[in-house]
Structure 1
C-alpha cells in the first residue's frame, strides 16, 4: 500500500469534482475547490474520520468494498479505479524490475513489416528495438546510448523542449501528457524498481512542465489514432498510430503506417530508400 500516493490521488480526484456533479448544492461559502472531505465520505458510505486519514496517508489498507464506494463517490473512470486498487495494495504489483529484453519473435516481426515504421518501447518509454523504417523516420537509435533512447527523457529534457516539437510530431503536448500518465501507472506497478523511480525523480526535479503534469494525478491516457511527423527531407507525413501491448513483458509495439497508395505511404517508401542518413533531428 502506497499511503502517500493514495492520499494525493484521492485528494486530486476529490478536488476536481464540483458539488453539482454529484447532486449536492454548491453553497456560498466554499473556500477550497471540489468536494469537501465530509461530502466525499458520505457519498462513499464511510466515516469522515477514516476518509480524512486515507487522504493524510495514516489509514490502514481499505477493503474492496470501501474502495468501490470511494470510486463511485469520486466518479472514477475504470482506469482510475484500477489505479486506486494498485495504490491501495489490493491489486497485484510487480516487485521485480521492469523487463527490457524483447522476445525474438517480436524482433523478427519488426523486420517483416518493411512498409511500417515499427518499434518496441519498455514500460519507461525506452526504445528497445526498431526496424529500419522507424530509424529513418525518427532517428538512428542504434547510434545512441541506451539512456538517450528514452522517449520520456527526450520529450522533456532533450533538444526538443516544451514549446518545440519532438521528431516534428503535431501532438507533442498530448504526447508529453500521455508520458506522464503512463509513468505514473508504471511507478505504481513497479514501486521497487530504482530505474523507474529514478526516471520520475529526474524529470520532476529538472522539468517544471513534467512536475506540473505529475501533480494532476491523471492516469487515463487518450488513444492516439493518427500522428503527423515533419521529416527534414520528405516533409509532413501523417500516419496511423497503432499500439500492441505485450502484456507478458509490460512492453508495447508501436506501429506507424499509411494507407496503401496514399501520398503518406509514398513518403514512407521514399524513406526506406533514403535510410537513416536523413533522420537528422538532433542538429
Structure 2
C-alpha cells in the first residue's frame, strides 16, 4: 500500500468534482475546488474521520468494499478504479521489476511486417526491439545507448523540449500527457523498481512540465488512433497507430501502418527502400 500516492490520488479526484456532478446542491461559493471530504465520506458510506485519514496517508489498508464505495463516490472510471486498488495494495501484486526481455515470437513478428513500422516498448517507455522500418521512420535505436532509447525521457528532454525531439509528431502534447498518465500506473505496479522510480524522479526534477502533469494524478489517456511524423527525408508521414498489450510481460507492441494507396503508405514504402540510408541521415 502506497499511502502517500493513495492520498494524493484521492485528493486529486475529489478536487475535480463539482456538487452538481454527484447530485448535491451547489450552495454558497466554496473557498477550495471540488467536493468536501465529508461529502465524499457520506457518498461512500464511510466515516469522515476515516476518509480524512486516507487522504492524509494515515489510515490502514481499506477493504475492497470500502474502495468500491469510494470509487463510486468519486465517479472513477474503470481505469482509475483499477489504479485505486493498485495503490491501496488490494490488486494482484507483480514481480518487483518490470520485464525487459521480449518474447522470441514477437521478435520474429517484427520482421514479418515489411509495410508496418513496429517496435516493442516496456512499461517504462523503453524501446526494447524494433524492425527496420521503425528505425527508418524514427531513428536507428541500435546506435543509441539503452538509456537513450526511452521515449519518456525523449518526450521531456532538455529544458525547452520541442516537437522535433519527438520525431516531429503531430500530437506531441497529447503524447506527453500519455507518458505521464502511463507512468503513474506503472509506478503503482512497480513501486520498488529502481528503473521506474529513478525515471520518475529524474523527470520530475528535470522538467517542470512533467512535474506539473504528474501532480494532476491522471491515469487514463485517450487512445491515439493516427499520428503524423515530419520526417527530414520523405516529409510528412501520416499513419494509423495501434498499440497491442503483451500482458504476460507488461509490454506493448506499437504498430504504425497506413491504408494501401494512401500518401502515408507511399512514404512508408519509400522509407522501406531507403532503409539504413534514412537512418544514417537522421544520425
- What TM-score comes out, normalization by structure 1 length? 0.97
Moved more, 95-104 or 12-21: 95-104
Instruction: Kindly report which structure 2 residues correspond to 1:193-204, keeping only aligned pairs within 5 A, or say none.
Output: 193-204=193-204
* Inter-partner Cα distance in structure 1 for 2:226 and 2:52: 43
* Inter-partner Cα distance in structure 2 for 1:5 and 1:20: 27
Q: Does 1:18 align with 2:10?
A: no
Note the C-alpha offset of 1:280: 6.7
* Inter-partner Cα distance in structure 2 for 1:281 and 1:187: 36
* Inter-partner Cα distance in structure 2 for 1:281 and 1:46: 62
Match of 1:109 in 2: 109
Note the C-alpha offset of 1:158: 5.3
Deviations 1:123-143 (A, max 9, x none): 100000000000000000000
Moved more, 154-163 or 61-70: 154-163
**Number of residue-to-residue matches in the alignment:** 283
Q: Does 1:225 align with 2:225?
A: yes
* Structure 2: stretches of 5+ with no match in the other structure: none
Secondary structure, aligned partner of 1:157: coil
* Structure 1: stretches of 5+ with no match in the other structure: none
Match of 1:270 in 2: 270
* Inter-partner Cα distance in structure 1 for 2:96 and 2:252: 19
Match of 2:56 in 1: 56
Note the C-alpha offset of 1:100: 0.5
Note the C-alpha offset of 1:23: 1.0
CA contact (8 A) 1:239 1:264 kept: yes
Instruction: Kindly report which structure 2 residues correspond to 1:28-47, keeping only aligned pairs within 5 A, or say none.
Output: 28-47=28-47
* Inter-partner Cα distance in structure 2 for 1:209 and 1:159: 9
Note the C-alpha offset of 1:165: 5.4
Note the C-alpha offset of 1:278: 2.3
CA contact (8 A) 2:159 2:206 kept: no
Note the C-alpha offset of 1:93: 2.4
Instruction: Kindly report which structure 2 residues correspond to 1:70-89, keeping only aligned pairs within 5 A, or say none.
Output: 70-89=70-89
Deviations 1:70-119 (A, max 9, x none): 00000000000000000011001224211101111111000000110000
Note the C-alpha offset of 1:29: 3.9
Q: CA RMSD in A?
A: 1.5
Deviations 1:232-275 (A, max 9, x none): 11111110111111111100000000011222111101001111
- What TM-score comes out, normalization by structure 2 length? 0.97
Note closer, same or farther for the CA distance 1:144–1:159 as it changes in structure 2 (3 Å cut).
Answer: farther
